[in-house]
Amino acid sequence: MEAMEVGKMVGELIEDNEVELVKLKNTRADRRVAPLDTARTNKIKILRFWQEYQDPSRRAPSSEFNWFLTPLPSADSISQLAMAMEVTQILLNAQAVDGALRKQAEENLKQFQEQNLPSFLYSLAGELANDEKPAESRKLAGLILKNALDAKEQHRKIELVQRWLSLDPTLKAQIKALLLRTLSSPSVDARSTVSQVIAKVAGIELPHKQWPELIGSLLSNVHQLPAPTRQATLETLGYICEEVSPDVVDQDHVNKILTAVVQGMNSTEENNDVRLAAVRALYNALGFAQANFSNDMERDYIMRIVCETTLSPDVKIRRAAFECLVAISSTYYEKLAPYIQDIFNITAKAVKEDEEQVALQAIEFWSSICDEEIDILEEYGGDFSADSDIPCFYFIKQALSFLVPMLLETLLKQDEDQDQDEGAWNIAMAGGTCLGLVARTVGDDIVPLVMPFIQENISKPDWRQREAATYAFGSILEGPSPEKLEPLVTMALNFMLTALMKDPSNHVKDTTAWTLGRMFEFLHGTALDTPIITPANCQQIVTVLIQSMKDVPNVAEKACGALYFLAQGYEDAGSASSPLTPYFQDIVQALLTVTHREDAVESRLRTAAYEALNEVVRCSNDETAPMVVQLAPLIMLELHNTLENQKVSSDERQNELQGLLCGCLQVIIQKLGSSEPTKYHFMQYADQIMALFLRVFASRSATAHEEAMLAIGALAYATGPDFAKYMTEFYKYLEMGLQNFEDYQVCAITVGVVGDVCRALEEKILPYCDGIMTQLLKDLSSNQLHRSVKPPIFSCFGDIALAIGENFEKYLLYAMPMLQSAAELSAHTSGADDDMTEYTNSLRNGILEAYSGIFQGFKGSPKTQLLMPYAPHVLQFLDSLYMEKDMDDVVTKTAIGVLGDLADTLGSSAGPLIQQSVSSKDFLKECLSSDDHLIKESAEWAKLAISRAISF
Shortest Å distance, C-beta 948 to other proteins: 5
- CB-nearer residue toward other proteins: 145 or 662: 662
Q: Given the complex with other proteins, which of 105 and 428 has the nearer CB atom?
A: 428
For the CA atoms of 219, 225, 228, 231, what is the dihedral angle to 10 degrees?
Answer: 30
Cα separation of 771 and 360, whole Å?
A: 55
- Identity of the residue, 273 or 901, whose beta carbon is nearer to other proteins in the bound complex: 901
Minimal distance in Å, beta carbon 724 to other proteins?
A: 17
Q: Quote the CA–CA distance of 325 and 241 in Å, as a whole number.
A: 17
d(CA 472, CA 135): 54
User: In a 3-state reduction of DSSP, which class is residue 564?
Assistant: helix
Q: Least CB distance from residue 86 to other proteins, whole Å?
A: 34
Minimum CB distance to other proteins, residue 752 (Å): 5
- Closer residue to other proteins (CB): 124 or 773: 773
Smallest separation (angstroms) from other proteins to the CB of 522: 13
CB-wise, 480 or 853, nearer to other proteins? 853
> CB-hemisphere CA count at 13 Å for 940?
7
Alpha carbons 780 and 814: distance in angstroms, whole number: 11
Min dist CB 346 to other proteins, Å, is 17
Nearer to other proteins, 122 or 682 (CB): 682
Q: What is the CA radius of gyration of the chain?
A: 32
Give the nearer residue to other proteins in terms of CB position, either 117 or 718.
718
Nearest distance from residue 748's CB to other proteins, in Å?
9
CA 861 distance to own-chain centroid? 44
Q: How far is the CB of 755 from other proteins (least distance, A)?
A: 6
Between vectors from CA 244 to CA 241 and to CA 248, what angle results, nearest 5°? 105
3-state SS class at 306:
helix
Closest CA to 438 of 389, 499, 366, 387: 366
CA-CA distance, 596 to 123, in Å (whole number)?
Answer: 61
Report the nearest approach of other proteins to the CB of residue 167 (Å): 28
Of 612 and 724, nearer to other proteins (C-beta) is: 612
Cβ neighbour number for residue 836 with a 10 Å cutoff? 11
Q: Shortest distance, CB of residue 614 to other proteins, whole angstroms?
A: 6
Q: For residues 95 and 414, which CB has a smaller minimum distance to other proteins in the complex?
A: 414
Q: Are 606 and 655 in contact (CB under 8 A)?
A: no
Q: How far is the CB of 57 from other proteins (least distance, A)?
A: 26
Nearer to other proteins, 841 or 856 (CB): 856
Please compute, for residue 573, the number of CA atoms within 13 A of its CA located in the half-sphere on the CB side: 24
Nearer to other proteins, 493 or 848 (CB): 848
Q: Measured from the CB atom, is 749 or 772 closer to other proteins?
A: 749
CB-wise, 122 or 610, nearer to other proteins? 610
Give the DSSP H/E element, type plus range, for residue 394: none
Handedness of CA 495, 501, 502, 507 (dihedral sign): positive
Closest separation in Å from C-beta 277 to other proteins:
9
How far apart CA 605 and CA 552 sit, in angstroms, is 10
- Minimum distance from residue 359 beta carbon to other proteins (Å): 12
Listed residue (773, 818, 837, 743) closest to 69, CA to CA = 818
What letter represents residue 396's amino acid?
A: I
Please report how the helices 553-568 and 506-523 are oriented relative to each other, as an axis angle in degrees rounded to 10: 10
Within 8 A by CB and 6+ apart from 676, the residues are none
Q: Which is nearer to other proteins, 69 or 424 (CB)?
A: 424
Q: What DSSP string runs through 185-198?
A: -S-HHHHHHHHHHH
Least distance in Å: CB of 429 to other proteins?
Answer: 5
For residue 375, give the amino acid letter.
D
Distance between CA atoms of residues 510 and 480, nearest Å = 23
Residue 300 identity? D
Three-class HEC string of 755-781: HHHHHHHHHHHHHHHHHHHHHHHHHHH
User: Which residues fall within 8 angstroms of residue 35, CB to CB, at 6 or more apart?
Assistant: none
> Whole-angstrom Cα distance, residue 534 to residue 524?
10
- Residue whose C-alpha is closest to residue 194's, from 253, 240, 249: 240
The residue (of 126 and 474) whose beta carbon lies closer to other proteins is 474
Neighbouring C-beta atoms of residue 554, cutoff 10 Å:
21
Of the candidates 928, 911, 843, the one whose C-alpha atom is nearest the C-alpha of residue 877 is: 843
- Least Å from the CB of residue 185 to other proteins: 20
Shortest distance (Å) from residue 5 CB to other proteins: 25
Q: Are 580 and 542 in contact (CB under 8 A)?
A: yes
Q: What angle do CA 814, 820, 825 make, to 5 degrees?
A: 130
The residue (of 136 and 557) whose beta carbon lies closer to other proteins is 557
Side-chain-side CA neighbours of 201 within 13 Å: the count stands at 27
Q: How far is the CB of 47 from other proteins (least distance, A)?
A: 17
Nearer to other proteins, 242 or 622 (CB): 242
Distance CA 151, CA 153 (A): 6
Euclidean distance between CA atoms 164 and 203, whole angstroms: 11
Least gap, CB of 710 to other proteins (angstroms): 5
| Nearest CB to other proteins, comparing residues 281 and 780 | 281
